[in-house]
Structure 1
């Protein structure tokens, strides 16, 4: 699945969808329902998380100044001048005071023992002064924007936004890396039976000739991600071969430890226009408050052949065709998702993607009508182009099952990246000493 240039998205007549939370079908329409249990616990999580139902449309990316910058994951080399940008909306007609801070974390995303001054050159509290009110929208909101500060060492960082009472509002994971080692990441070939048609394998090796690693087999840790997601990342991957003479670690697996389901290209819908029907949309009611959007009924793709088209790898972009500038001119719509199914899935079904922080949120859970053989749910989403799919919840702690409704194909276009961590002897922190991305089935 490939990111489309932003300019192409704005000009294309066939567009892709955006995302928002889905509420209990028995509750009131979007904006009137009680806050779901997801938001009840305000305990800080060291992950991408939203702590308030009023906070929407969070984007965290590298501010390159290019039209497609919102698709760049928050990963930067140490010392890069182009910083990471965080943007979010807060529903309501009154602006609020927010501050942000950075928390340095280890490879397992637990807070490290470093003091603030060991990774920052300034006081670790940043007042968010860049905010603007939504203009001409039915749903009132304020749009906030913050550029993350530069840091002195590589590794994992959690950017946390807090309200005036000190409670967390938004947290986002940031990565700062150095290229101390040579990372060789490339698409591989799945050796197996039926798996070679459904899985995508990534082969990789790490050359450490330029850095003195004392015990690389035990001290180097790697994480492999698909489409920059954390929810299904491969962790605890150990080298299968250590070639001391060549100063090289090789990772060659035979039980699919380095393989991911290819899935399908993401579903999409376009709500950038309030007066017309976009791609993936069945009906728009501009008279409703908020504007009501009913998406085309979708069906399972589990048994279908692969269908090639360009998508945005589960991401979304905000925009208003009538007024432009999605940051403050895009309104919020009550979007209804529909999925035809002749029987109940083996678990609860959710709309899923970047719009849900790659989490199974209560707001996006779908309800099943046995008489209509239809899953439905609705969520309040900002105008834009969205990618999403449908996921089935499994056992507690297990990754969502996206294959059940989406199928899986080796031909699907996806992006992968590899993170290489190392904790030098006698130090108290895990450094991110290598980073590389690679496209699978790239069509550029």
Structure 2
């Protein structure tokens, strides 16, 4: 009996080891930089389009190796948790299964040489047949097993209506720090037999996956209207406005830029950053974590925007024995890894690091990972306030009892400052 139990345990471990991990925005090649995926109608927007509407997304990225390579892209249909579905490619893609990226330009008048690539889709070669989550994969020489990077995108088939409000927290302890989302989903003529099973809603703050909250059970139901307003759900830390710096020019110091060195490479020293975990809120304009490729020194940022080693410096009342600090933003997919980790300088009592990034305007913030608990949070460094201006993305998924995939049937963008 013990022998059989051991075999079962080993098989279970092996199956879990090979289990598919959810797709995420990831980069697997160090030479690929400045990846942007957004609607052609608005730069840096949430990557969502309406099914068969004529709307398009645009992918852009740079290859720092500078030569022209054979890059291809394809899409994989995923469920609401970003795991691959069992849907055949022919069921979710119209046209080819993969396409070559043929739109590229060489950099001009830059110290860092690179090749800039772009592609828009859906296009005449590839389009989507069904709604849902899609993972975009870009790879070289048709080798799908070794992607250069992956990106999430959303295809919407509007079948429900969504409305909502951003309020202060219902919990008196969090009214100065949190923001609460109350919303309603009206599914109309959609065939919903069991709302607790057929419909689920994902909420995100500023397009950040780590902030995501799932709602499966509505608080109440009125006819075809599902109401989500329980006091215990959708209570988000308001956080703080993002820090930002302006690198549109490398000729003079601009916002938050302390010094610029230009030689065989561009080096930019940002002004030192203090802690912001105060109870009092202070407004400053930001782009909710986004970044924009811009260059006032040239004429076309996609080809004449240069790269620079940008140095960040953070003063704290903590040391590397207490934990680790990371610099994050949409420019690095909010990744907590070796590339975003900051080193500690005990003499000055500061954390510092550098990021190799393209000219533009960037939002960023600092995340602290506690050495004792392992908990990651931006609040110990940045603070949190209910007044902070934030975007909230609400995504409604529908899967009937005999459905084979999660349909994306509703989307709503809420903003704390726009009612």
Equivalent pair of 2:168/2:178 in contact (CA under 8 Å): no
The change in CA–CA distance for 1:399 and 1:137 in structure 2 (over 3 A counts) is farther
Structure 2, unaligned runs of 5 or more = 1-19
The change in CA–CA distance for 1:210 and 1:384 in structure 2 (over 3 A counts) is same
Q: Distance in 1 between matches of 2:231 and 2:309?
A: 47
How many angstroms does 1:399 deviate by? 7.0
Equivalent pair of 1:291/1:333 in contact (CA under 8 Å): yes
Structure 2 residue corresponding to 1:418, chosen from 373, 394, 398:
394
How many angstroms does 1:179 deviate by? 2.1
Counterpart of 2:176 in 1: which secondary structure?
Answer: helix
Partner of 1:162: 139
Q: Are 1:352 and 2:331 counterparts?
A: no
Q: How does 1:169-318 map to 2 (within 5 A)?
A: 169-243=148-222, 246-255=223-232, 257-287=233-263, 289-303=264-278, 305-318=280-293
Cα-to-partner distance string for 1:348-374 (whole Å, 9 max, x where unaligned): 111011011121131121111122011
Equivalent pair of 1:217/1:242 in contact (CA under 8 Å): no
Counterpart of 1:217 in 2: which secondary structure?
Answer: helix
Q: Are 1:130 and 2:103 counterparts?
A: yes
Structure 1 residue corresponding to 2:364, chosen from 388, 396, 413:
388
The change in CA–CA distance for 1:343 and 1:237 in structure 2 (over 3 A counts) is same
Q: Are 1:324 and 2:303 counterparts?
A: no
Q: Distance in 1 between matches of 2:279 and 2:328?
A: 20
Under a length normalisation based on structure 2, what TM-score does the superposition of the two structures give? Answer: 0.89
Equivalent pair of 1:178/1:435 in contact (CA under 8 Å): no
Q: Distance in 2 between matches of 1:330 and 1:62?
A: 21
How many angstroms does 1:395 deviate by? 8.2
Q: Which moved more, 1:363-372 or 1:229-238?
A: 229-238
Q: Are 1:341 and 2:320 counterparts?
A: no
Cα-to-partner distance string for 1:60-95 (whole Å, 9 max, x where unaligned): 00011xxxx222111111122121111111111322
Partner of 1:12: none
Counterpart of 2:196 in 1: which secondary structure?
Answer: helix
Partner of 1:375: 351
Structure 1 residue corresponding to 2:65, chosen from 77, 80, 92:
92
Q: Distance in 1 between matches of 2:231 and 2:21?
A: 38
The change in CA–CA distance for 1:319 and 1:396 in structure 2 (over 3 A counts) is farther
Q: Distance in 1 between matches of 2:300 and 2:361?
A: 13
Cα-to-partner distance string for 1:358-397 (whole Å, 9 max, x where unaligned): 2113112111112201111111111111000000125899
Equivalent pair of 2:77/2:87 in contact (CA under 8 Å): yes
The change in CA–CA distance for 1:397 and 1:203 in structure 2 (over 3 A counts) is farther
Partner of 2:94: 121
Q: Distance in 2 between matches of 1:393 and 1:125?
A: 40
How many angstroms does 1:212 deviate by? 1.7
Q: Distance in 2 between matches of 1:218 and 1:348?
A: 41
Equivalent pair of 2:197/2:216 in contact (CA under 8 Å): no
> How many matched pairs?
393
The change in CA–CA distance for 1:396 and 1:54 in structure 2 (over 3 A counts) is farther
Q: How does 1:52-63 map to 2 (within 5 A)?
A: 52-63=29-40
How many angstroms does 1:237 deviate by? 4.0
Q: Which moved more, 1:177-186 or 1:334-343?
A: 177-186
Partner of 1:50: 27
- In our comparison, the structure showing a higher alpha carbon Rg is 2
Counterpart of 1:328 in 2: which secondary structure?
Answer: helix
Q: Are 1:107 and 2:80 counterparts?
A: yes
Q: Are 1:409 and 2:382 counterparts?
A: no
Pick 1 or 2: higher relative contact order, CA cutoff 8 A, min separation 6.
1
RMSD of aligned Cα (Å): 2.0
Counterpart of 2:162 in 1: which secondary structure?
Answer: strand
Cα-to-partner distance string for 1:93-124 (whole Å, 9 max, x where unaligned): 32211100010011111111111111121011
